[in-house]
Amino acid sequence: MEIAEVLRKNGYKVTPQRLAVYEAINHNPTHPNAEAIYKILQPNYPSMSLATVYKTMEIFAKIGVVQVLQCAEDAHRYDYNTTPHAHIRCEKCNRVIDIDMDQEGLRQQAAEQSGFVVNGVSISFVGICPECREKS
């Protein structure tokens, strides 16, 4: 389904800014934060504001177009891959990559132990990536 269609279906208008933000993050494996998305857009959309990026990402997160990562040490990062998976961040270079991991079992375990209704899971690792390890 096209992003324009998804926006319309959810009652949001289709604007050049939203399409541009979507282009910047779709299949972007670097898990950018708002600032990074803003910088990607600067050359082609110099009038786009950081506030618009934040507002757009909030909408995208709400309608399930992106996933918000809590693993970053600093700011939120966004992932166009919305299937359940974990992340690992390199403590040296801060890159974030995806880890495939079944979360169903963990979810059940959490529900049983706590008595909570579990609505979300976030699994994140930190470590040193192969490239940074080589350098030192």
Partner DNA sequence: TTATTTGCAAAGAATTTGCAGCAGT
Partner DNA sequence: ACTGCTGCAAATTCTTTGCAAATAA
Is 104 marked as binding a ligand? yes
Q: Which tokens go with 118?
A: 């579990």
Is 93 marked as binding a ligand? yes
Site string for DNA, 2-41 (x = CB under 7 A): --x--xx---xxxxxxx--------------xxx------
Helix (H) or strand (E) holding 86: strand 86-90
Q: Give how far Cα 15 sits from Cα of 5, 19, 35, 80, 117, Å.
A: 12, 6, 20, 19, 37
Query: Which of these segments, 22-30, 53-61, 84-92, 126-134, binds DNA (CB under 7 A)?
Result: 53-61
**Binding site residues, DNA, CB under 7 A:** 4, 7-8, 12-18, 33-35, 45, 47-52, 54-56, 58, 74-76
